[in-house]
Structure 1
């Protein structure tokens, strides 16, 4: 029996329910995934969060980093996604929704005693996902799962995005909602890997995990995974992008973040700010660090990264300890080379171990041509 595509399965399952499945150009929605002004996480709150209090730009002392001493930045994690639009569906009442498919994955690399990086294959995960509007009821979704599992060589998880009970309006972007749903499922894999690392006692004060992106997972994702925020305590979030037009309080020289960051010299950092909502509001500290000389950058904010760390102990009341912030900043500076110049348009904001982790993870994705063929 010939193997079917996802579109074949949709037509087989939904024709009996009166739904009409339309062929759409199979388009990768991540073709332009990077903007230096994009930000998916919560913005800084503007309140300073450092002890002793610091309101000024500070040059990071690097004398405390000894190349002969193993870095406490031991593990590096990357979660990646690819999202495709490949079909549209018309319901019996005339509503019209897009159908998306995606690949998500997570990988972790560990620094070995000789300084090299080695993949931790026990934490490597990939998932293929079909995302439908939640107006497709449970029995029809289950029928999709059953037929997909028996009719296709490559397995797909079936999920849905919030479409509401009305016909929608021009302000509702269902493609964006579906894409966020796939992103949430990628975060599920990341949190699952962190939970496993905690259970295996990999993460400690002297063996921290650096994650590519923000530590600010959505509350719904944390709740769904029953993930206590305290398990993020031995982690550092490094974001390559942020919003420069957000307001900043407590510092001289500018009302917006970008005004301050464009003046950072190589090796300088901002004070620590409070950031986040919900469970993060009292414990998350954020600062910005320039990891490359600005004179050699193609744009004012290239070479600046956003760093996120959770407060621990007395830091919750007093703010992040300035010496700890300086030490972590110095360690981050030491990770910037070898530079992945030319292989990624975000090279100036990359830490090299994160670049290697991302490259390792993406090498295991199905090719776009093959994946489109499955759809």
Structure 2
């Protein structure tokens, strides 16, 4: 058992089982990880034109080649999570989950992608609330434990390595506690993403000529500030202000959750998209915040070159900002313009380097690779425990 676990065991009166340690992200897992997990009902149009069939934007994309793109910033958040032990607290056994988190934003200047305009890297540990003697409603007990953990790590001769936070997952329900620990680390990453976007807006970086592409959905789940001191729960007004010039692009989505109003699935429409075609845009009202989104789907790779019919299809989100947009939808010309520029971000690709190559926009792929390059190796990280 490593130094960190010994400190946790001693300070919490836990009992370690010295379980096998592994990284979830490198372990073979069945199933698909989707960027979203919510039903999206195609009920109302999100654009001004009431389109009844897909729109091909190849000519529009070709016409924009050679001109500066409206996309200047690219944001990606990434995390690796690790099962590092099982410990007994108060006569029950719970998993100890650790994580490496990286959030970075790259900027394109003079047609070249510049790394690390903004970058955050964090190391965290997720413990069950039963690790503490009283009900947890703050960091009163976690803070001194974190200090002792970091002191122990420094004693191992690695002064530059320290853990940034202890996260607490609840054990009130008999859910899968390992997933709860991973979810805490995911929420922590999301808060870093939200803060980075807020920093870009505060610096005046985003405008009509300089959009941000964010990897993944814009529909953030609300996080309790009582249980997460890092939560940045913005008001609807602040969300609209911060995400006015942000486009969310999801590499993977659950096609069974794209529903027709009244029942049934729209997945057939998405599957039948031809290269460079987009679906009509529909409005989606978030159940997590008082904001509306415009959502559409775009094929950037031919299905015959991919493993699955949904490979090469992106889910695209834009926040509906004004009251006029809420009533009438976003201008169809604006959606076509955004989509055409997105098509031109698809090449070159990362053949052989990533199984998700068909769904990558290349600047996002490079940003993701930059973020992951800052991680400690899995072996070194696990050895801390």
Give 2:149's aligned residue. 148
- Which residue in the other structure is 1:289 paired with? 298
The answer for the alignment partner of 1:235 in structure 2 is 246
Q: Report the more deviating stretch, 64-73 or 239-248.
A: 64-73
Which residue number in structure 2 is paired with residue 109 of structure 1? 106
Q: How many residues align?
A: 359
Q: Report what 1:330 is aligned to.
A: 340
Residue matched to 2:40: 44
1:299 aligns to 2:328 (yes or no): no
2:231 alignment counterpart: 224
Deviation at 1:298, TM superposition (A): 2.1
User: TM-score by structure 2 length?
Assistant: 0.87
Deviates more, 1:365-374 or 1:130-139: 130-139
Which 4+ stretches in 1 moved above 6 angstroms? none
* SS of 1:308 mapped into structure 2: strand
Q: State the 1:208 CA deviation.
A: 0.7
Residue by residue over 1:254-309, the C-alpha shift from the partner in whole angstroms, topping out at 9 and shown as x without a partner, is: 94232111110001011112225236565211110000112222221110010010
Q: How much is the aligned-residue C-alpha RMSD, in angstroms?
A: 2.3
Mapped partners of 1:260, 1:37: distance in 2: 22
CA distance in structure 2 between the aligned counterparts of 1:240 and 1:182, rounded to whole angstroms: 21
Partner residue of 1:29 out of 6, 21, 24: 24
2:365 match: secondary structure: helix
Q: Which 5+ residue runs of structure 1 have no aligned equivalent?
A: none
> 1:146 offset after TM fit, Å?
2.1
C-alpha distance in structure 2 between counterparts of 1:33 and 1:328, whole Å? 35
How far apart, in 2, do the equivalents of 1:239 and 1:34 lie? 20
Question: What are the ranges of 5 or more consecutive residues in structure 2 without an aligned counterpart?
Answer: 155-160
Contact 1:36 1:240 in 2 (8 A): no
- Residue of structure 2 equivalent to 1:87: 85
Once residues 232 and 33 of structure 1 are traced to their aligned partners in structure 2, the CA distance between those partners, rounded to angstroms, is 34
Q: CA deviation at 1:233?
A: 1.4
Q: Which residue of 2 aligns with 1:128?
A: 123
Alpha-carbon displacement from aligned partner over 1:121-164 (angstroms, at most 9, x marks no partner): 4x111000010012333554233112023221321111111212
**In structure 1, distance between residues paired with 2:22 and 2:33:** 24
What's the offset of the Cα at 1:226? 4.1
The 1-side partners of 2:265 and 2:22 are apart by 37
How far apart are residue 335 of structure 1 and its match? 0.4
Q: Secondary structure of the residue that 1:135 maps to in structure 2?
A: helix
Q: Go from structure 1 to structure 2 and tell me whether the alpha carbon gap of 1:22 and 1:140 turns closer, same or farther (over 3 Å shift).
A: farther
CA distance in 2: counterparts of 1:126 and 1:37, whole angstroms = 23
1:57 is displaced (CA, Å) by 1.5
Q: CA deviation at 1:11?
A: 2.2
